[in-house]
Amino acid sequence: MIRREPPDETRQYYLDYLARCGQVFAPFAPIELPDFFAGRKREVERLIDAVGAPGQQIAILGMRGVGKTSLAALGYFFVSRAEDDCSFVRCTNISTFDSIFSEALADVGVVVALNGVESSHSRSAGAAGGGLNVGGSRETRATYRALAPLQKITPRLLLQQFADRDGLIVVDEYDRVQDPATHTQLAELLKHFSDARSRTKLVVVGVAETLSQLVGEHESLTRCLGPIRLDPMDDEELREILRRGEERLAVVFAESIKHRIVRLADGFPHFVHLLARSCAQAAGKVLITNRDARPVVGNEEYHYGLRSAVEDAEPQLAEDYERAIVTVKRKSEKFELVLWAMALSSERRVQVGDVAANAGFFTGDEYANSAFSYHLGELVRKERSCILTRVDEGFYRFTNPLMRPYIRFRLELENVLAHGGQLSFPFMKQGA
């Protein structure tokens, strides 16, 4: 029997469902709560072990979009539930050692006056209740301890303030910091915390391939700083994101749709969240008239979600893509074909010959290995947004690793619109 609810109640139920979609599938914010966190079991265990290891500080590093902030937020959640002395600071390109750690001090209730300017007496509102609310609203704490006016904050001062506190300081997006003095001081602080076996732990998070890229060449840090590297997720971990979503939203994704979402995402949870959210929202339209219905994501919902996901993708990706393929205010089919061929590859480092072979998938033509040498050379230039990087003689990769799944999304949308989804891209094959 269909339950008939007053129109206002039915509409509110639907709106609540849409809101839950944004909580479960969150492409633009870190996952803050364990219930919504999927995969990364090995990395979570390493993080928990490192938090409990005396003297060890932590670095979380990897590509953009692989979930570094979410992992740090999970550690923050567990520690902040038991301890008040926790801080989560997000860096910018103008951050300095003073600005980062005056915020950290304020978060634990220590007032700092730098050159007569008092730090904000605040703490993340979400953190006070066990959540995170990174960069969000703040609430005033009731009590504070004031320090004498300072010219600057030093590593030794921070050791004095934090060594005997049971807490966690997360320094997120540290790769954005450009000030050389800050890198030197942070290295000194990490060593101080380690040598003193500080009860407060430091977690440094940033985009980097190696530890030295993130924190600099400091030999002493290799002993005290434990790196946790996040690589792109495997297919099973990405599927877990979808399974968690199905459970939390009471929505069903067709198996074929799950497969397509996972393969398009290319190992990046961000893109699973992006497309799954749009698909689930489209499926939820059945709730407008029948709140007892079970939302199902089939082809129609997938096609709608794909359009929305491409539109909602990071604007910088679209801007860089368009800039790369435009020549004299017109799109160049050759430049676009090269990008498609790069996106088709199963390897992140693509050889020139593979670009030529992959281009033939779209045109049906055979190309010499050198057919696109000029275009590849052009695509590493600033004028074309440096969309590619030459990594070795005859090898190229996307400068921003998120560009490959973004282009795959565009290819799939074109496939749906022009071919009814009939094309079978090589990367859609299991294990590709």
The DSSP string of 95-106 is --HHHHHHHHHH
Helix (H, G, I), strand (E, B) or coil at 429: coil
Which residues of the chain fall short of a pLDDT of 70?
Answer: 1-8, 31-36, 80-84, 113-151, 219, 328-331, 430-432
CA distance 389 to 375: 13
Q: pLDDT, tens digit, for every residue of 192-201?
A: 999 999 888 8
Would strands 113-114 and 138-139 be described as parallel, antiparallel, or unpaired?
unpaired
**Per-residue pLDDT at 72:** 86
Do 56 and 50 meet the contact criterion of CB atoms below 8 Å apart?
Answer: yes
CA distance 386 to 381: 5
315-401 has the same fold as 40-230:
no
CA angle in degrees (0–180, nearest 5) for 259-265-270: 125
Terminal-residue alpha carbon distance, the chain = 46
**Per-residue pLDDT at 145:** 58
Which residue type occupies 372? Answer: F
Q: What are phi and psi of 136, to 5 degrees?
A: -95, -155
Tokens of 106: 């304020």
**Per-residue pLDDT at 256:** 94
DSSP 237: H
Helix (H) or strand (E) segment spanning residue 264: helix 255-265
Tokens of 43: 């990395």
Topology (CATH) of 315-401: Arc Repressor Mutant, subunit A (1.10.10)
**Per-residue pLDDT at 39:** 74
CA separation (Å) from 7 to 3, 10, 292? 12, 5, 14
CA distance 224 to 43: 18
CA distance 255 to 298: 9
| CATH class of the structural domain 40-230 | alpha beta
**Per-residue pLDDT at 190:** 92
CA distance 91 to 294: 42
CA angle in degrees (0–180, nearest 5) for 174-180-181: 100
| Contact partners, residue 363, CB within 8 Å, separation at least 6 | 337
Return the domain boundaries, the chain: 7-25+234-312, 40-230, 315-401
Tokens of 224: 């005290």
